[in-house]
A and B are shown apart, each in its own frame.
Chain A
Amino acid sequence: MVATSSVIFRRELMAYFSTPVAYVFIVIFLILAATATFFIGDFFERNQADLKPFFNFHPWIYLFLVPSVTMRLWAEERKTGTIEFLMTLPVSSGAAVIGKFMAAWAFTGIALALTFPVWVTVAYLGNPDHGVIAASYIGSWLMAGGFLSLGACLSALTRNQVIAYIITASACFMFLSSGLSMVRDVFQGWAPTLLVDVLASFSVLTHYQNITRGLIDVRDLIFFGSLIVLGLVANVAIIDLRRSP
């Protein structure tokens, strides 16, 4: 299964770079990350040698860029009928799902790694806590993984990439916003504290912010790990149930 997944992984990763999608994605991602950090996030005015403004915007950048990475994963296979070619090769649904997800995750990892000049800049200007920055990068990549797993799974539901994009963005927004104080305030006061806490604990934002403080807690790792695994399991189930192109 590992061998099969790695063959599919390589094909999918190459597929990103064989079309302009990869380059457009990476350029937009880098521009947004830089703009958010230096202009909106007041990187210089804060006079602090850290990357908080940079990492604070990642959830919102992923919100509309991750669906563009995952929307093609299965919807395009259904639209063009290649799902029939792929699934009649001796390939298990699990191996195909993992291969595709890993390719999307690696691709996002490449885009994230290309933001290294921001790290270099802050290291040049001051004396930042490199441990916190490294942890934040890991947290950001894990959060991307959670969104990608969700997006890959939702992409398998449809043959229309636009629909895949919209439902993924909406689902990611739900996972993000459940931790916002604005949403919490709506529930606070009338809903039981337990419900408010559960809601917040399902928020990608809460767990991501924990990690960006420089503390990689097992609970946060379990959260992102579970989100990824759940998405993949649901993805396999959808592929097995809905085979028709």
Chain B
Amino acid sequence: MIEARKLSKWYGSLLAVDDVSFRVERGEILGFLGPNGAGKTTTMRMLAGFILSDSGSAHVCGFGVSDDPLSAKACIGYLPEGAPLYGDMTPANLLKFALMLRRLPRKERTERINAVISSVELHEVLHRPIHTLSKGFKRRVALAQAIAHDPDVLILDEPTDGLDPNQKYEVRALLRSLARDKAIIISTHALEEVEALCTRAVVIAQGRIRVDDTPSNLRMMYQGSTMEEIFRIITSEKGKVDK
């Protein structure tokens, strides 16, 4: 469903993403981990078709993201880093706007909007301008627009950032329920999230993939270590030599 083939991206003289390849199949939730500036967001932006790779290619639902961007984007639900949204719009209008651009017929649009409002609990802020909402609500509106059209692929850059523990729990439960028939990539700093949610973990540091394995295998490899310790070992310089 999602495939990165030897993706690379340069920013000036900095190699932000270096020869990154992986696949995500239906039913999988891939946790994308790494320190700040490791290349997670850049990789996700290339998969979502926001920026083009300098070499390699990204494929989503069988469409090349650079060859047929509109078809690829139609089957992706994307939550950008920081959940940027039009502050002057209300959540209701924003969802309608996104679904109109996704060409959903009016009846289906209304049904989907109602469904997604319930699943991320937006009732109370539905008609308030987004710029007046709390960080948690903004994140939920952004998540709502990503899942509203029931896409086959979800690419979510830090979906639980800014949420309180209860909201995090609910969003994880929601993603787990969605995962059955979707391929999902999430990036996160919350390591417990990887254990709680992901079927696979890809750890990236300095633009390169260090590890691509299941969370349970990672635990076996680094017996007795917490996820946090494993993360530190893998992404540190020492880890680079060891692995």
Contact = CB atoms under 8 A, between A and B. Distances in A.
Interface of A: 3-4, 7-8, 11, 15, 18-19, 80-82, 84-85, 87-92, 243-245
B100 interface: yes
6 contacts: A3-B103, A4-B101, A84-B50, A85-B142, A88-B49, A89-B102
A150 B142 CA distance: 32
B45 A84 contact: yes
Contacts of B98: 89
Contacts of B67: none
B52 interface: yes
Contacts of A87: 49-50
Contacts of B82: 81
A7 B80 contact: no
What's the dominant secondary structure at chain A's contact region?
helix
Interface stretch (B84-92, B110-118, B188-196, B224-232): B84-92
Interface of B: 45, 48-52, 70-71, 73-74, 76, 78, 80-82, 84-89, 97-98, 100-103, 129, 142, 145
A168 B129 CA distance: 30
B84 A80 contact: yes
A90 B88 contact: no
Contacts of B87: 80
A125 B178 CA distance: 70
Given A18-B89, A85-B80, A87-B50, 5 more contacts: A4-B101, A11-B86, A15-B86, A18-B129, A87-B49
B52 A81 contact: no
Contacts of B52: 243
A88 B70 contact: no
Contacts of A85: 80, 84-86, 142, 145
B73 A90 contact: yes
A241 to B, nearest CB: 10
A88 B86 contact: no
Contacts of A19: 88
Contacts of A84: 45, 50, 80-81, 84
4 nearest interchain CB pairs? Answer: A81-B84, A84-B80, A90-B73, A18-B88
Nearest to A245: B84
A173 B48 CA distance: 40
A92 B70 contact: yes
A17 to B, nearest CB: 10
Contacts of B45: 84
Contacts of A81: 80-82, 84
B97 A7 contact: yes
The residue in B78, B81, B86, B88 that gathers the most chain A C-beta atoms within 10 A of its C-beta is B86
Given A80-B84, A80-B87, A84-B45, A243 B51 contact: yes
Contact of B101 (A15, A89, A243): A89
B78 A88 contact: yes
A86 to B, nearest CB: 9
A92 B74 CA distance: 12
A3 B142 CA distance: 23
A128 B31 CA distance: 72
A92 B48 CA distance: 14
